[in-house]
Amino acid sequence: MKKLIIPALLLFALEAAAQQHKLVKLWETDSVVAIPESVLPDLKNNILYVSLIDGGGWDADGKGGIAKLGTDGKNYRPDWVGGMNAPKGLGRHGNRMYAADISEVVVVDIPSAKIIKKIAIEGASGLNDITVSDNGDVYVSDSKTSRIWKITNDVPSLYLEKVNGANGLKAIKGDLIYAQGTSLLKADAQKKITKIAEVPQPMDGIEPVGNGDFIVTAWAGYIFYVHANGKSELLLDTHLEKKNTADIGYDAAKRILYVPTFMAKKVTAYKLN
């Protein structure tokens, strides 16, 4: 009996080891990024767009904006677009960029770097993450009212409510992947909801790896690898260093993760191995 148990345990250990992933730091900016919350990569042009709160997290103080940064961590431009309050999640469709800004979604024309519209969301007070579907529908979470809104042709409508801890969003084909506190959930086109996984900390950013797996962050300073079967691995823990891990960007081809560190005022790049 013992001879059977030992090989079985060894096989289990080898299988577990094979599933382990890790992050290797590639570069990190100086502490010059004015409270970065979200990173949106433009990989074709080697640009990272970074939302800057530059003040209180929910203060309508006019200090916020969007910066540009090279995918190599160089050529930081903090003044690409200003005129916002405390922008968080960023999304894009064509030449339009969308930023979640407390109670409205700010629309930016990318070629001209100009704000062309601000879409007010009724009753919103904590707009947080944004994602855009392939057909241009915009989804935005309101963490304070526990709602997710859908914007079609610049017209908002309530999509989901009673989403306690609503935060991270990712549109994938006809599905909406979203964070409800520590639960990673999926709503299909008919709004049928299924649970993907449960992680130890409330989630912020969500990025698909491309094989049914996800990388998710928890704002306090944790990054998890979530397998399609619901199991998760801790990839990074920087909470004791007071380095937050907010709304990430991901280059699936090069397996590079771009992490805004919020209060640490840096953007950090990691290679996923």
- At residue 18, φ and ψ (nearest 5 deg) are -65, -25
What DSSP designation does 266 have? -
Confidence of residue 212 (pLDDT cuts 50, 70, 90): very high
Contact 86, 109 (CB under 8 A): no
Structure tokens at 231: 């199991």
pLDDT number for residue 257: 98
Nearest-CA neighbor of 77 among 65, 90, 59? 65
* 96-143 pLDDT, tens digit each: 999 999 999 999 999 999 999 999 999 999 999 999 999 999 999 999
Burial class (CB in 10 A: 0-12, 13-18, 19+), 155: exposed
Query: CA-CA distance, 13 to 182, in Å (whole number)?
Result: 27
In a domain, 7, yes or no: no
In a domain, 116, yes or no: yes
CATH code at 165? 2.120.10.30
For residues 17-45, average pLDDT: 92
Confidence of residue 13 (pLDDT cuts 50, 70, 90): very low
In a domain, 8, yes or no: no
Confidence of residue 181 (pLDDT cuts 50, 70, 90): very high
For residues 222-243, average pLDDT: 97
Q: Is 89 helix (H, G, I), strand (E, B) or coil?
A: coil
Q: Does 14 have pLDDT greater than 60? A: no
Q: Does 272 have pLDDT greater than 60? A: yes
Q: Does 92 have pLDDT greater than 60? A: yes
pLDDT number for residue 210: 85
For residues 43-54, average pLDDT: 98
Q: Please give the mean pLDDT across all residues of the chain.
A: 93
Structure tokens at 241: 């260093």
Query: CA-CA distance, 229 to 107, in Å (whole number)?
Result: 37
At 137, which helix (H) or strand (E)? none
Q: Does 6 have pLDDT greater than 50? A: no
Per-residue H/E/C for 142-207: ECCCCEEEEEECCEEEEEEECCCCEEEEEEECCEEEEEECCEEEEECCCCCEEEEEECCCCCCCEE
Express the helix, strand and coil content of the chain in percent, nearest 5 each.
10, 50, 40
Q: Does 16 have pLDDT greater than 50? A: no
Q: Does 63 have pLDDT greater than 80? A: yes
For residues 186-215, average pLDDT: 97
pLDDT number for residue 7: 47
In a domain, 200, yes or no: yes
Buried b / exposed e over 119-136, threshold 16 CB at 10 Å, is bebeebebbbbbbbbeee
For residues 24-28, average pLDDT: 98
Neighbours of 144 (CB within 10 A): 16
For the whole model, what pTM was predicted?
A: 0.92
For residues 204-226, average pLDDT: 96
pLDDT number for residue 3: 41
The count of domains in the chain is: 1
- Domain housing 34: 24-272
C-alpha of 245 from chain center: 9
Nearest-CA neighbor of 216 among 184, 174, 260? 184
In a domain, 10, yes or no: no
User: For a pLDDT cut of 90, what percent of the chain falls above it?
Assistant: 92
For residues 172-176, average pLDDT: 96
In a domain, 18, yes or no: no
The CA-based diameter of the chain, rounded to the nearest angstrom, is 72
In a domain, 132, yes or no: yes
In a domain, 13, yes or no: no
pLDDT number for residue 12: 37
Nearest-CA neighbor of 85 among 45, 47, 125? 125
